[in-house]
Amino acid sequence: MRPLTGAFKERRRRLPPMSDQRSPRGNNGGRGRRRRGSGGNRGNNNRRPKRYGGPPIADARVRSADAIADANAKAEGRFERDEPVMGFPEGMEAPGRFSFEWPLTPVPLATEEETAGLVVRKGEFGWLPDARVDEIGAKLKGKAMSLEQALSLRSALLQQKTVYSHYRMQSRGKALRAAYDDGVSIVELSKRFDFPPMNIFRTVLAEKGWGKTKIKESFKDPKRLKEREREEFEAAEAADRVSNVDQSESAGAADLFEEILADWFEDQGVRLRRQPEMVKEQSKEHGRPIKTPDLLFLDHVEINGEPVAWIDAKHFYGADVEFQRKKMAKQMNRYIEEWGAGAIVYRHGFCANLFIPGVTLLDAGPLDLSPLK
């Protein structure tokens, strides 16, 4: 790549073309290089676009039939195991049995795919202005997806886009630094290269020889930065909700959602343990929390015909997005290993095609969420 010149200061010369950009609809975050076609078709014009979302849920269920059966059997037999079961108190009473019908309103995959194309734009990583939110809301009228669900989907897509494009961004580090040195702002680089502003800023500083510790400490105390770097930091942080966001409010809402869920089951007579007491217990016994779902049932619980030994509450929309899906499966598999099949309750619902073996997916339908408003 030829070095960038001072023409950046005039902002009239175009940056090198981003031939490896990807649409959010591809659902792969732009990972890796495109393989060359055969027969001289260098552009791969005949390649079928990557299907949005995971495999069809019916096919996934068939392929995972054995894993599902094992998880269900483990959940059903967890009270008869000879070895100690994590989280079960000593001398606990014999478990009772409860069965619940939980109404569901999942979002069709086609609706999620269409919405993904609305909520993610090139170079747009920050909080959306009111005009954009209103635009998205207007286009969702009559659709099977709410504005809250759409904005939560956007967060999942941006997180995936950020993670999957990280190495591609680092490979352009020298070009990004050259442009920055020529006067192009971090926010402008984000819009042109389609990488998160704060990640670009970290990459630029690393190219200048800054170590990770220096970058981290400087971002914690921006007054230590020189004038331009401080101004760039403030602008980049304001334009980036992926890498930098005050999560205190959302964390508080998530905790309240967990309490509402636990209270609902206890009101039905189900005995359970909550995450905070398990965290305290495991930290004392093992030095750190090991496996701590939000709810661990001490009775047999069946929801929509499926055994549920534990529940995790998620204060977001369950998107059929690869990065989020894999992250959820990795976390839930730890619980399945210990207690068998469980469930996730998504505060903002979930996609009809989302599938995690051994996990029943639920929305917040039966819950009274008025305390969250």
Phi and psi of 126, rounded to 5°? Answer: -95, -175
What pLDDT is attached to residue 21? 42
What pLDDT is attached to residue 51? 87
What pLDDT is attached to residue 27? 53
Q: Please give the full DSSP string across 9-63, using - where no structure is assigned.
A: GTT-SPPPP-TT---GGGSSTT-SPPPP-STT-TT-TTPPPPPSSSS-HHHHHHH
Q: Are 50 and 343 in contact (CB under 8 A)?
A: no
Report the alpha-carbon distance of residue 5 to residue 179 in Å, rounded: 8
Report the alpha-carbon distance of residue 229 to residue 240 in Å, rounded: 16
CB atoms within 10 A of CB 78: 20
Q: By C-alpha distance, which of 135, 37, 16, 75 is closest to 302? A: 75
Q: Are 53 and 113 in contact (CB under 8 A)?
A: yes
Q: By C-alpha distance, which of 44, 68, 60, 51 is closest to 109? A: 51
Q: How far is CA 20 from CA 3, 29, 216, in A?
A: 19, 10, 30
Q: Are 131 and 168 in contact (CB under 8 A)?
A: no
Q: Please give the full DSSP string across 193-214, using - where no structure is assigned.
A: H-S-HHHHHHHHHHHTT--HHH
What pLDDT is attached to residue 243? 64
Report the alpha-carbon distance of residue 325 to residue 330 in Å, rounded: 9
Mean pLDDT, contiguous 10-residue spans, the chain (373 residues): 41 41 46 43 59 96 98 98 93 96 98 97 94 96 96 95 94 96 97 96 96 94 94 95 58 93 98 96 94 98 99 97 97 98 98 98 96 90
Model confidence, pTM: 0.83
Q: How far is CA 68 from CA 6, 324, 352, 357, in A?
A: 60, 20, 18, 6
The structure tokens listed for 313 are 């509450």
Report the alpha-carbon distance of residue 351 to residue 363 in Å, rounded: 10
